[in-house]
């Protein structure tokens, strides 16, 4: 059985980040983990706080039959409530459990979002440098990733973003702090970006702004509606009971 040509092409262009990670593992085995420092995947080098372990043990000990059954499509309701409460406090805007959908990480969330928003040929704009997998996420759902240059300090070049918007633009994907530069975009730049994306309105298309990490509490530049925030949330407790 032959593999699809598209998959062959993807495998040939497989992530250099993964290749670096695998090379790091090889070098650690050869020279010792204390002599090789791997900055490829961003794996944490610190253990989780003891409170996390405590809650995890308590959750496992208190599991009942219902905890091993299929959950609602959006996730366990009590977990969604906990995360909504956490985000409401963090962002300073009201968020309800009905606006929370649990996914397997930000990659899973972005794939769900793109599947919901993209028609074949729609464009996803993102500032560069960017996470290399974004191209595959957009392509998975018929979209085209369009990378837009940033300024020398890696802040947003709003003029370049504005010039990149076409009738095919459907998503502006913002990652702040940026991966891989670490640049944190300012509130002012987000406010200007919001006005810039209004240039899509003459084409009667909604432009969704997606970010993997909101800014500090009560200074959120994101509108309460129209934005999606795929991210990993560490609420103080995600207990099922």
Of 101, 48, 47, which Cα lies nearest the Cα of 74?
A: 101
Model pLDDT, residue 232: 41
C-alpha to C-alpha distance for 179 and 194, rounded to whole angstroms: 21
- As given in the structure block, the two tokens for residue 132 are 């290399």
Name the band, by pLDDT with cuts 50, 70 and 90, for residue 5.
confident
C-alpha to C-alpha distance for 30 and 149, rounded to whole angstroms: 39
C-alpha to C-alpha distance for 229 and 101, rounded to whole angstroms: 10
- CB half-sphere exposure, 86, CA atoms < 13 A: 16
Model pLDDT, residue 10: 76
User: Residues 88-131: pLDDT tens digits?
Assistant: 998 888 999 999 999 988 899 999 999 999 999 999 999 999 98
Model pLDDT, residue 237: 39
**124 in helix, strand or coil?**
strand
C-alpha to C-alpha distance for 37 and 39, rounded to whole angstroms: 6
Q: What percent of the chain has pLDDT over 70?
A: 80
C-alpha to C-alpha distance for 85 and 99, rounded to whole angstroms: 11
- As given in the structure block, the two tokens for residue 162 are 């504005």
Model pLDDT, residue 221: 41
Distance of CA 12 to the CA centre of its chain: 25
Model pLDDT, residue 198: 67
**118-222 CATH, one of 3.40.50.2000, 3.40.50.800, 3.40.640.10, 1.10.3720.10:** 3.40.640.10
User: Residues 181-200: pLDDT tens digits?
Assistant: 989 998 888 888 887 776 55
C-alpha to C-alpha distance for 234 and 214, rounded to whole angstroms: 13
Domain ranges of the chain: 118-222
Q: pTM to 2 decimals? A: 0.73
C-alpha to C-alpha distance for 134 and 111, rounded to whole angstroms: 9
User: Residues 48-72: pLDDT tens digits?
Assistant: 999 999 999 998 898 887 777 888 9
User: Between residues 224 and 136, which one has the greater pLDDT?
Assistant: 136
């Amino acid at each position: 059985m032959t593999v699809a040509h598209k998959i062959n092409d993807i495998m040939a262009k497989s992530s250099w980040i993964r290749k670096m990670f695998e090379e790091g593992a090889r070098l650690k085995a050869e020279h010792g983990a204390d002599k090789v420092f791997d900055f490829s995947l961003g794996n944490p080098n610190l253990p989780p706080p003891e409170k996390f372990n405590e809650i995890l043990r308590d959750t496992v000990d208190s599991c009942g039959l219902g905890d091993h059954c299929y959950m609602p499509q959006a996730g366990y309701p009590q977990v969604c409530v906990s995360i909504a409460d956490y985000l409401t406090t963090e962002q300073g805007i009201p968020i309800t459990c009905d606006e929370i959908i649990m996914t397997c990480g930000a990659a899973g969330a972005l794939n769900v979002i793109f599947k919901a928003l993209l028609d074949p040929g729609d464009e996803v704009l993102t500032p560069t440098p960017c996470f290399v997998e974004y191209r595959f996420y957009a392509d998975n759902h018929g979209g085209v990733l369009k990378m837009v240059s940033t300024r020398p300090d890696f802040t947003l070049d709003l003029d370049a973003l504005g010039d990149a918007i076409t009738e095919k633009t459907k998503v502006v994907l913002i990652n702040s702090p940026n991966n891989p530069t670490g640049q944190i975009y300012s509130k002012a730049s987000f406010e200007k970006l919001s006005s810039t994306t209004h240039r899509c309105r003459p084409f009667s298309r909604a432009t969704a702004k997606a970010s993997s990490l909101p800014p500090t509490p009560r200074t959120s530049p994101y509108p309460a509606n129209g934005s999606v925030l795929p991210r990993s949330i560490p609420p103080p407790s995600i207990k099922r009971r």
